Amino acid sequence: MIIIADSGSTKTAWCLVNGQNIKLINTQGINPFHLDEHQIINIINQELCHQIEIFGAENGFKDVFQEIHSVFFYGAGCTEEKAPVVTTAIRKTLCNDARIIVKSDMEGAAKGLCADQPGIVCILGTGSNSCYYDGQNIVDNIPPLGYVLGDEGSGAYIGKRLVGNCLKKQFSEEICQLFLNETKLTAQSIVQKVYRENMPSRFLADLSTFCARHRNLTEINLFIIDCFKEFFIRNVNLYNCPEIPVSFVGSIAWFYKEELKEAARITGFKIGKIMQSPITGLIDYHVGKSNLRNNDC
């Protein structure tokens, strides 16, 4: 039995694979830049372990944790420095003797989208990131710089620009008032949540859903496209490979795929794949089976 995980700051998708059977489980996000070992252990114990036990019972295992021989975890924040935090947490909770591989979410996206083919690979979720993948390794990576300095095209970036445009009246009065009425926020409460409370990037990304609800409004639609144009100009363009397809994973890429395609057209790039999650590709990459029976959790 193997476990494959794709984790962002908001959500982690876990796949338990035993032969022809797969079980999908979602837990809250695991990012070692935001969470320490103890917090990650708590998430695994409280949100994952019981589901693994159920999967074990369904597959006739007396001790399912003894059956785990490999864990492949791809996650946001899993740099060379921080990856050991996740490795230790997994080893303490799931499988002491198994092979545990912890890599960045960027590498997971590259393998899940491109397998052994070259491509420019991008993540657009709460945050954003990109790389040039040569079919084997990530050979170039424009630093995303986080939601304060970069993360163009991400949920947090869209939310940040949305708030700024509304509070500084860059949108029409109707849209500014609609935003404040729907969110029940004030300038003071927004400043409090962004500058004084935990997880400001997640708060800003949540605000970006306003754009999804009102994308039929021309002003909002053009705003979304402009956010993605910034991503192409300030990130993708720097790889100097206009002929290489640009592929995407992440909730923002998935839900705004039409606006993303339009931004690519305007900036002169060719879209490859757009997936909400790379997990299906990662299953094929690690297991080599595309027709697994899917028991969604």
pLDDT digits (tens, 9 = 90+) for 34-49: 899 999 999 999 999 9
Q: What CATH number did the domain enclosing 183 receive?
A: 3.30.420.40
Both 153 and 99 in one domain: the answer is no
Which is more confident, 289 or 59? 59
Q: Using CA atoms, how far apart are residues 153 and 100, in angstroms rounded to an integer? A: 32
Closest CA to 88 of 9, 127, 35: 35
pLDDT digits (tens, 9 = 90+) for 268-288: 999 999 999 898 899 888 886
Buried b (16+ CB within 10 A) or exposed e, 255-269: bbeebbebbbeebeb
Both 160 and 223 in one domain: the answer is yes
Both 207 and 91 in one domain: the answer is no
Tokens of 39: 């917090």
Both 283 and 171 in one domain: the answer is no
Both 168 and 234 in one domain: the answer is yes
pLDDT of residue 146: 85
User: How crowded is residue 191: how many other Cβ atoms within 10 Å of its Cβ?
Assistant: 12
pLDDT at 139 over 50: yes
Both 132 and 232 in one domain: the answer is yes
Domain span holding position 223: 116-275
pLDDT digits (tens, 9 = 90+) for 236-274: 999 999 889 999 999 999 999 999 999 999 999 999 999
pLDDT of residue 275: 92
Both 253 and 290 in one domain: the answer is no
Both 133 and 222 in one domain: the answer is yes
Output the average pLDDT for the chain: 91
User: Count of domains in the chain?
Assistant: 2
pLDDT of residue 33: 87
Mean pLDDT (whole number) for 180-184? 93
pLDDT confidence bin for 294, thresholds 50/70/90: very low
Buried b (16+ CB within 10 A) or exposed e, 193-211: bbeeeeebbbbbbbbbbbb
pLDDT at 296 over 90: no
Helix (H) or strand (E) holding 274: strand 271-275
pLDDT confidence bin for 221, thresholds 50/70/90: very high
pLDDT of residue 290: 38
Both 105 and 160 in one domain: the answer is no
Mean pLDDT (whole number) for 205-234? 96
Q: Dihedrals φ, ψ of 73, to 5°?
A: -115, 120
pLDDT confidence bin for 292, thresholds 50/70/90: very low
Both 99 and 72 in one domain: the answer is yes
pLDDT confidence bin for 96, thresholds 50/70/90: confident
SS3 (DSSP) at 3:
strand
